[in-house]
């Protein structure tokens, strides 16, 4: 039961609905070979799924599956649709199908279903999204295809795949990253945490500079996040407040105000250096102050 829930409402409904089963209401040759909606089909009669969203298959894990199939056989049937006489097309289970070919099997167990192209695409995408070993970019591309090609809203997709809408939105944002960053994420050279931290950089050059630092220096996610905040702060330098004047300096300031008859300010730093600012209101006022300086 738990496995069915994990498939998501969209895929589960399509697979379990009797109206999508090719064995329902038909007396075809294929139907007679089906027992409990599962049939043993020749591998040679099955073609790959053109809508397969997965583009990378790990060689090591594939060979482990091949060895398992050679020893135990196919435990979980693939799902196919009828294309014509003795011709079927994969809906889901391409990894198992490829491994079966490598293992030299002549036939494999399969669920036989009816699905049009759009329904098939949706089923394949949803089924693959549930796979834990998909990389984040493959998942993001699958989400994008569900939106663009299956006309699903993020709310509808959330129901199909059993994921929160915020999770879907954050995953889709990964497609905004530069190609080299996406490639590094797919190869596990950077983590999802690194990718999310890089998305906070609005300047493309700064993003790539930080990305290269991650690769070269092995920066942690927290360091990347901290680096982003530091660089943003550096864009707006903080003005240092002048040091408070001593009693003697305040007396000098007061005497200067009286002498020049205008506002005077004294600013100094920790080293003892500083400046005196004398305000004037007009050209005539400036000439008057200069005459005072000459006295």
| Cα separation, 118 vs 115, whole angstroms | 8
How far, in Å, are 133, 242, 267, 280, 286 from residue 262 at the CA level? Answer: 76, 21, 17, 7, 10
Q: Which residues are known to be catalytic?
A: 94
Asked whether the beta carbons of 10 and 153 are under 8 A apart, the reply is no
């Amino acid at each position: 039961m738990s496995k069915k829930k994990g498939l998501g409402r969209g895929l589960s409904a399509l697979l379990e609905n009797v109206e999508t089963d090719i064995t329902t209401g038909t007396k075809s040759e294929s139907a007679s070979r089906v027992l409990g909606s599962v049939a043993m089909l020749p591998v040679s009669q099955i073609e790959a799924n053109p809508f397969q969203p997965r583009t990378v298959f790990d060689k090591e894990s594939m060979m482990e599956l091949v060895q398992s199939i050679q020893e135990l056989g196919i435990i979980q049937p693939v799902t196919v649709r009828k294309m014509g006489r003795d011709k079927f097309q994969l809906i889901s289970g391409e990894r198992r199908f490829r491994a079966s070919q490598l293992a030299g099997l002549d036939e494999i167990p399969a669920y036989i279903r009816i699905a049009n192209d759009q329904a098939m695409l949706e089923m394949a995408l949803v089924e693959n999204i549930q796979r834990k070993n998909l990389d984040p970019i493959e998942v993001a591309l699958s989400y994008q295809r569900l939106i663009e090609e299956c006309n699903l809203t993020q709310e509808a997709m959330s129901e199909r795949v059993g994921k929160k809408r915020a999770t879907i939105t954050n995953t889709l944002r990964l497609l905004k990253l530069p190609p080299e960053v996406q490639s590094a994420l797919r190869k596990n050279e950077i983590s999802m945490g690194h990718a999310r931290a890089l998305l906070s950089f609005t300047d493309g050059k700064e993003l790539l500079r930080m990305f290269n630092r991650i690769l070269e220096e092995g920066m942690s996610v927290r360091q990347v996040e901290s680096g982003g905040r530091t660089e943003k702060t550096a864009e707006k330098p903080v003005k240092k407040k002048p040091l408070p004047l001593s009693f003697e300096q305040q007396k000098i300031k007061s005497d200067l105000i009286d002498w020049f008859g205008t506002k005077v300010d004294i600013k100094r730093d920790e080293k003892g250096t500083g400046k005196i600012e004398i305000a004037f209101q007009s050209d005539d006022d400036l000439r008057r102050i200069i005459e005072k300086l000459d006295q």
